[in-house]
Amino acid sequence: MFVATNPTTGQAMEGYPAMSGSEIDAAVELSQQAFQGWRKTGFAERATLLHQVADLMNEDEERLARLMTVEMGKPIKEARGEVQKAIWCARHYADHAEGYLAPVTLASDASHSYVQHLPLGPLLGILPWNAPFWLAFRFGAPALMAGNTCLMKHDSHVPACAEAIAELFEKVGAPEGLFQNMRVHNEQVARIIEHPAVQAVSLTGSSSAGSQVASLAARHIKPAVLELGGSDPSLVLADADVNKAAEVLALSRIINAGQSCIAAKRLIVEAPVYDQFVEHLTNQLAALKLGDPCEESTQVGPIAREDLREGLHRQVTETVNQGARCLLGGEMPPGPGFFYPVTVLADVTPGMQASCEETFGPIAVVMKADNAEQALAMANDSDYGLAASIWTADTAKAEAMSREIEAGQVAINGIVKTDPRLPSGGIKRSGYGRELGPHGIREFVNVQQVWVGPAQS
């Protein structure tokens, strides 16, 4: 059974039965059958379906948002925003997939030679709990518009969200098997990947999960896209608008209670503005309201699970024991639920726990750099390479630095975010492949070369 626990109360909720081996095989085979018809549809027909799903999500925004709030603690205002972002993703690919996948003519000795982008078949998407709707559509919208079918293995801690996502497609009359919710435990995933009908896998999750899935996919010679963890650096240089940087980075740090792969995690500040930045950041974070995510005024909700909160507190405690200053928070609160206070750790140095590990919670880690060169070196001193930001008045300098930063995306004087129009993904232990934008939809297609004779001299 999949039984979600309300992180606000710590109470178990409704359970959902896991699929048996035979049910898994039947679902994959149904996906393969659906593919045979879906692959022959045109972009207009596919787009109509996605727009219908987007319309239904828009009509049902409040109910869908509250599923997230109850199951994983996302503040209700953020949850509504996530539903809208999923709608945006669906509409974006409905409107732009045909252009992204248009045939490309390439000159050769042929009378005509070109590349066309064809669907592969059933795809498996393995998704985490922290953005249930957004991540489902980040995987599903481009896959469906490319002509593939989708098998969604969502996190077991958000079973009602997963059911609701699949039901959207049923309610608009999608072909049976086009988009299915696979209620399977982690140990059952191998059965899906190994199935001959499944052509590729996309995973958003931890580096350890990515390693296991990538190994299994490679063993069966199937492509994979991995969007894994991050310890994302934000560089605040001496000539930056320090107050603006602190305001934006405070927001980046506490969205979804800090439970985001691309949230600012290591705030690396040049020495001349370090004290000013720390003071303003601490003031910004101290003003935030921690509380029941169902309340409109709440800005920071609970951590999604008790074990995650315990791990977060371990990171904070060990980092303080290693010499960091705790300027805000840092204490496990009493009472029900899995709440953790917004915390500021200053004077963190490379090698301290919160600098080496991904901190998945409302923990701001501030580090001092003597100069921009040292800040850059500290930014790259990580096993991860997902996202980064640079704050400076010298945009040209920041663009030059971006070429030196080991990360899949860099924001200059702005918040790091995902956008359906732009590719997103990481390097090093943050994964490989790209999602979103034109690059994302081309990950799971057959890039087929066509040579038309006769040969030209």
Is the domain spanning 2-228+430-452 CATH 3.40.225.10? The answer is: no
- Condensed to tens digits (0 to 9), the pLDDT of residues 93-133 reads 999 999 999 999 999 999 999 999 999 999 999 999 999 99
Residue 331 has pLDDT above 90, yes or no: yes
pLDDT digits (tens, 9 = 90+) for 346-382: 999 999 999 999 999 999 999 999 999 999 999 999 9
Residues 386, 284 contacting (CB under 8 angstroms): no
Residues in Cβ contact with 241 at an 8 Å cutoff, skipping those fewer than 6 apart = 391, 393, 413
pLDDT at 409: 97
What pLDDT sits at residue 14?
A: 85
Q: Which residue has the higher pLDDT, 457 or 315?
A: 315
What pLDDT digit, counting tens, does each position of 50-99 carry?
Answer: 999 999 999 999 999 999 999 999 999 999 999 999 999 999 999 999 99
261 is catalytic: yes
Backbone angles phi and psi of 454, in degrees to 5? -75, 165
The mean predicted confidence, pLDDT, of the chain is 97
233-420 — its CATH code? 3.40.309.10
d(CA 160, CA 163): 5
Residue type, 252: S
Tokens at 395, concatenated = 């945009």
From the candidates 71, 82, 227, 357, give the one annotated as an active-site residue: 227
For residues 429 and 328, what is the distance between their CA atoms, to the nearest angstrom? 30
Q: Which helix (H) or strand (E) holds 227?
A: strand 224-227
pLDDT at 359: 94
Task: State the Cα–Cα distance between residues 306 and 321, nearest whole angstrom.
Answer: 23
pLDDT of residue 311: 97
pTM of the predicted model over 0.95: yes
Active site residue 170: no
Q: Per-residue pLDDT for 457 more than 90?
A: no
Cβ burial, residue 11 (10 Å; 0-12/13-18/19+):
exposed
Residue 273: both structure tokens together: 């503005």
| pLDDT score, position 156 | 95
> Is the distance from CB of 129 to CB of 153 less than 8 angstroms?
no
Enumerate the domain spans of the chain.
2-228+430-452, 233-420
Average pLDDT of span 167-183? 98
pLDDT digits (tens, 9 = 90+) for 395-439: 999 999 999 999 999 999 999 999 999 999 999 999 999 999 999
Q: What is the pLDDT of residue 1?
A: 87
Q: How far is CA 134 from the centre of its chain?
A: 8
Joined together, the tokens standing for residue 35 give: 């593919």
Tokens coding 428: 């090093």
Q: Of 261, 357, 358, 435, which residue is the catalytic one?
A: 261
What was the pLDDT predicted at 221? 98
